[in-house]
Amino acid sequence: MSMRTRSLALALVMLAAAQSGCATNPMPTNVQNRILEPARTAENAGDYERALVEYKRVDGIPLAQYRLGRMYEKGLGTPQDDAQAARWYQPAADAGYLWAQIALANLYDQGRGVPQDFGAALDLFLEASEFEQSHAYRLKPPRPPAVATYRAGEMIERGRGVPANPAAAAGYYQTAANAGNPDAQFALAELYRKGSGLPADPAEAERRYAAAAKGYVGATGGRAQERLGQMYIDGRGVPKDVMRGVLLLEGLAQGGRTSTQIRLALLYERGADGLPADQGRAVAYYRMAADAGNAAALYELARLHATGNGVQLDGRRAVELYQQAAAAGERRAYRKLGDLYADGEVVPQDYAEANKWFAKDAEDGDG
């Protein structure tokens, strides 16, 4: 299609939309999809600079405006620019385009490219939620369904844009969960577990955690499976079954989830009902998480080397690990380093070095 033919077709589409009243329909028509084809082809081929040019030629179409916003937000074919992203998302969001509303709401929520405004973010999520609930059939994997409905509930629960209201949030979570959103299932499980906004119901929490974990390999699935495992280990609201809980956690830990590795390491270090302490396994899991750069794991591994618990007593190694933990943001390591140098039991006594770490701890706010 030549430039002139494409421009003429676009003008006819816009005129027809204005006359028929379908300009308010944010989904592209068949004709608009054909007009967008050169831009989509370029984008799919990774030629983002060309795609940027092509989308700008048809910027009256909400989908084109949304794609331009995404390209500016992600820095595809152009320098990353949240303000420009917001500028392109806005008209698409005003036209009712779902993903533009969600993207713009995220920018307002985080204060990126626009002044942070929780009220504006919530309004956009609520508007997008209405569209989701009436057009759910349009939402296909890999995007989870009812994203805006879940996010609206999340903001209401946390009091972002409105006073915190877990009971009202539960209604949005329920709607999103019924549509198959795993994040909403997890959020409902948390409310049932805590008795916040809903009556405390451990059995329902267990069911919701299981639903969030089932077939969902993302962060939410991992958190849900971890919560479920801990419920069985603690016997909170479910029959206590330590081995069942440990098996759930073992799968996550072997898959590389560092928070679960640390949880299991602590469990094996201390032991539990029906699970004898196993210092070797505890150290192995601490090392897994430490190798991934986890600050808490580095701290715990340093503690073991400083005490000789399950590993060889090694003050030099303890200092090295505490320093790595401190560099990774573990504030507890400051005082431990000060203690090691002040005591002089596993490293040569050095009051100047001890004072340096105590001062850093004090500056960080430790009373």
Total structural domains within the chain: 1
Cross-strand pairs, 272: 275
Cross-strand pairs, 275: 272
Domain membership of residue 25 (yes or no) is: yes
Cα(12)–Cα(9) distance, rounded to whole angstroms?
5
| 24-33, 101-110, 207-216: least confident range | 24-33
Domain carrying residue 65? 1-116
Residue bearing the bigger pLDDT, 297 or 59: 297
Q: Identify the pLDDT of residue 35.
A: 92
| 125-134, 176-185, 358-367: least confident range | 358-367
Domain membership of residue 198 (yes or no) is: no
Domain membership of residue 79 (yes or no) is: yes
Contact (Cβ atoms closer than 8 angstroms) between residue 146 and residue 176: yes
Rg (CA), the chain: 27
Q: Identify the pLDDT of residue 6.
A: 38
Q: Identify the pLDDT of residue 220.
A: 80
pLDDT of residue 50 exceeding 60, the answer is yes
Domain membership of residue 16 (yes or no) is: yes
Query: CATH number, domain at 104?
Result: 1.25.40.10
Residue showing tokens 């946390």: 158
Q: What angle do CA 220, 225, 228 make, to 5 degrees?
A: 125
Domain membership of residue 138 (yes or no) is: no
Q: Identify the pLDDT of residue 5.
A: 39
pTM (two decimals): 0.76
Q: Identify the pLDDT of residue 340.
A: 87
| 10-24, 100-114, 288-302: least confident range | 10-24
Domain membership of residue 227 (yes or no) is: no
Tens digits of residue pLDDT in 79-134:
999 999 999 999 999 999 999 999 999 999 999 999 999 999 999 999 999 988 88
Q: Identify the pLDDT of residue 142.
A: 57
When pLDDT is cut at 50, 70 and 90, the band that residue 310 belongs to is confident
3-class SS of residue 312:
coil
Per-residue CA distances from 216 to 181, 188, 201, 211 (Å): 10, 16, 23, 9
Domain membership of residue 168 (yes or no) is: no
Domain membership of residue 130 (yes or no) is: no
